Structure 1
Amino acid sequence: MREGHNPNKDSVISDIRFIHQIIIPVYIPNQQDYFKDAFRIFKKCLQSIFETVALEETYISIVNNGSCNEVENYLGALKEENTIQELINTSNIGKLNAIYKGLIGHNFDLVTIADADTMFLSDWQQETIKVFNTFPKVGTVGIVPQFNMYSNFCTNVIFDNFFNKEMRFFKVEEPREMQKFYHSIGWNMKEDHYYLQYILGVEKEGTKACIGSSHFVTTYRKEVFNEIKKYVPAKMGNNSERLLDVTAQNNGLWKLTTFKNYAYHMGNVYEDWMDEVKFQQTQKKLEYNKFQLNQNSKLGFLVKNKFFKNVMRIKFFNDFYFKYKGLPKSILAKYGKVYY
C-alpha cells in the first residue's frame, strides 16, 4: 500500500557544484606479503588527493573492491565525516568493473581514474584542466610523462598534427622524475638512458603536452564514456584496461600528458621519500572550457587509425618522419622497431 506523494518524484538533481570526479578502485584483501604496505600506501594516495584538489568542486568516489575489514572501516569513517562523497562496497569484481560502478549514475565534465598507489602532486588538477582548455580535441590527459606513449592508440594525434611544426621531439624536462617512475615498476634505468632524453610532444599558446597517456592515472572527458561496457570478464590484465586506453581514439579525440610530472607511482613497498613530499592545496576555482565533440566519421577513423597506422609501422618511413620531427639520429638508432 502507498499513501501520499513521494516528495522526490519528478524533482531535478540540482547540485552541480562538482565538475570533476576522482574514482579510486581499491583492493587490499589483507596486510601480508604483497599487500603488507598497501593500506599505508593507499592512505598516502588519499592524503595527496585531499591536500591538492579544489575540494568544493571535486567529487571523490572510492570503490572498495573486496578489501579487508580494516580498509572498509577506514573508508566508512571517511564517508561518515563527508571527507569523500561516495563509497561503494563490493566483492572483488575486478578493477574495470569496479571503475564502471563509480562512473554509473554521474554526469561530471571530467573524470580522473587512478590506481590506489598513486601519489598526486601539487597543481596536478589545474595543470590537467589547462591541457584540456588549450587543446580542444583532447579526450584524455595523463600527469606522468613516460617514454613511447605515442605508440599507444595515438596515431590520430600524429595524423592531425602531421605537418604541425609545434608537434616535435622535445628534451625531457624532468628526467629524474621519469626515471623515478621506471624505478617504481622495477626497471633499473641509468640516468643517461636514452628513454630519459627526448619525448614527442605538441605545443600551443605556450603550453606543452606529451603525446599519449598511460592508464594508471588519467583524466577523461565525460563524453568518452558514452558507450561503456556493462561488464568485463577479467579481474586485472587480459587487456581489460585497453578499454580505457582506446576510449579517446574511438571518439576521434587525442591522448595527451602534462609536460611536467604531477604524480608518483608508489608501487607496493612504502619508502622513506614518500613522507618527505609536501602538498599544497589549490586556491583557484576550476575553470573548464567545454568544447563541442565533433562527429567521428567512420572513414576518418579508418584512415587515421588503420591505414595511417600501417604506414607509420614502416620503419623507413617512421625513422624519416621522427628525424624530421627533431629526434637525433643517435637516439633514433636505439629505438628499434616502433609499434602502434
Structure 2
Amino acid sequence: MRVGFNPNKDKEIDQVEYTHQVIMPVHIPHFEGYFKDSFKILEYSLESLFKTSHKNTYITVVNNGSCEEVKNFLNSLFHQDLIHELIHTICIGKLNAILKGVVGNRIELVTISDADVLFLPNWQQETVKIFENVPKAGVVGIVPQFKMFEANCGNVLFDTFFSKKLKFLPVKNPDALALFYKSIGWANDYNQDYLKYNLGLDLSEDFKVLVGSGHFVATYKKDMFDEVKSYLGYKLGGLSEAYLDKSSLKKDYWRLTTQDNYAYHMGNTLEDWMETDYPVKNTQQVTHSGFSKRKPMSHFMFFLKNRLFSKFISIPFLYKCFLRSKGLPKAMINKY
C-alpha cells in the first residue's frame, strides 16, 4: 500500500542549460575479427569528444548489445560524470539505439556520431556557426566527402540553382579528404579531381560551406525528430540510413558540411596517427539557442524539389551544363 504523498508529484522538471547533445551508439559484442581494435578506438573517440566539447554539451551513449567489458567501461565513465546519459540494451539496431537517445530532452542540436570518430578542436564552434548563419541548415557535417551534393540535396540545389553563391570551391584540406577514403578502404585509384573541387556556397569572403553531408557524424536540428518512428527493422544500413539521411528533407532543411575537416574516421583498425594529444580541455560555456525551425513542406514541393528536379539535373547533358555553370574547370567536367 502507499503511505504518504510523493514529494515529486506535479513538480516541473528543472531545465538544465545544455545547448548541444551528442548521441553515440556503441556495438562491440566481442574483441575478435572485425572488432579486434574496436575497444581502443572507442576509447580514443570518447576521449576526443570529452576534450573538444564545450561545457554545455550533453553526452548520451547507447550501449547497443556490447560485451561485459565495454559495458563496465561505459559504466565507469558515467559514474565519473563524463557521460550524462547511459542506456544499456540488447542489440536492437543502430537507428533504434539512436532514437532511444533522441527523446527525453529539449536540446535544439543533436550530433549523431559513430563510435569510431576522432573529434578535432573547434568542431562544435564551426557547426554552430553554420546553423547561426544559414537559417535553412538542418544537418551539418564536419567531414567533407566527394560529391556530397548528389545525395539528398535536391532542395538545396533547387533553392540556389540561379544563385552566384552556389559554385565549385577549391578543397580546403585535400590530405584529410584523402585520409577519409583511405579509412573506409578505398584504393587511391579514384578520380583525383575530387580532391581539388567540391560544390559549396560562397556566403562571404571568410565563410563558405559545402553542399551535402555524410551520415557517420553530423549534427541535426532536433525538431526534425518531432515525430519519431517507434521501431525500424534493420540492424545497420537498409531503411535505417535512409530514415536518418532524409529526415531533413521533410521540413525542407538543407544538408551542409564545413569547408574544412573537423573530425577523422578511424574505422576498425588502429593506426599510429590516431593517438592524438589534447593538452587543454575545452571549458568554454556556450549558450547558443533559438535556431530557426521549419514546418513540414507540402507533398507537391517535396516531389518537385527532391524527385522531379533531382531527376532533371541528373540527365547527363544537363548535369555537365550544371557543372560548367557552377565553375568546375572545363577539363574536369567529362569525368567528374
TM over 0.5: yes
Match of 2:135 in 1: 136
CA contact (8 A) 1:131 1:141 kept: yes
CA contact (8 A) 1:123 1:282 kept: no
Match of 1:70 in 2: 69
Q: More displaced, 43-52 or 287-296?
A: 287-296
1:45 aligns with 2:29: no
Deviation at residue 181 of structure 1 after TM alignment:
0.1
Q: More displaced, 17-26 or 201-210?
A: 201-210
Cα shift readout 1:269-306 (whole Å, capped 9, x = no counterpart):
11001114546533543224421424522322222112
CA contact (8 A) 1:23 1:62 kept: yes
CA contact (8 A) 2:169 2:198 kept: yes
Match of 1:103 in 2: 102
CA RMSD of aligned residues (A): 1.6
Q: Any idea what SS the aligned residue of 1:51 has?
A: helix
CA contact (8 A) 2:21 2:111 kept: yes
Q: Any idea what SS the aligned residue of 2:172 has?
A: coil
Structure 1 pair 227/69, CA: closer, same or farther in 2 (3 Å)? same
**Percent identity of paired positions between Structure 1 and Structure 2:** 46
CA contact (8 A) 1:121 1:279 kept: no
Deviation at residue 245 of structure 1 after TM alignment:
0.3
CA contact (8 A) 1:95 1:235 kept: yes
Deviation at residue 168 of structure 1 after TM alignment:
0.4
Q: Any idea what SS the aligned residue of 1:239 has?
A: helix
Aligned ranges 1:111-130 → 2 under 5 Å: 111-130=110-129
Q: Give TM-score scaled by structure 1 length.
A: 0.94
Match of 2:152 in 1: 153
Q: More displaced, 318-327 or 6-15?
A: 6-15
CA contact (8 A) 1:48 1:279 kept: no
Alpha-carbon separation, structure 2, partners of 1:229 and 1:192: 39
1:5 aligns with 2:15: no
Match of 1:214 in 2: 214
Deviation at residue 19 of structure 1 after TM alignment:
1.2
Match of 1:90 in 2: 89
Q: Any idea what SS the aligned residue of 1:101 has?
A: helix
CA contact (8 A) 2:232 2:239 kept: no
Match of 1:228 in 2: 228
User: What are the ranges of 5 or more consecutive residues in structure 1 without an aligned counterpart?
Assistant: 336-340
Match of 1:330 in 2: 331
- Paired residues in the alignment total 334
Q: Give TM-score scaled by structure 2 length.
A: 0.95
Alpha-carbon separation, structure 2, partners of 1:277 and 1:195: 30
Q: Any idea what SS the aligned residue of 2:240 has?
A: coil
Cα shift readout 1:32-76 (whole Å, capped 9, x = no counterpart):
111111000000000000000113x11000000111111000111
Alpha-carbon separation, structure 2, partners of 1:193 and 1:283: 40
Alpha-carbon separation, structure 2, partners of 1:119 and 1:302: 37
Runs of 4+ deviating beyond 6 Å: none
- Which residue identity does 2:306 align to in structure 1? N
Alpha-carbon separation, structure 1, partners of 2:36 and 2:123: 28
1:80 aligns with 2:40: no
User: What are the ranges of 5 or more consecutive residues in structure 2 without an aligned counterpart?
Assistant: none
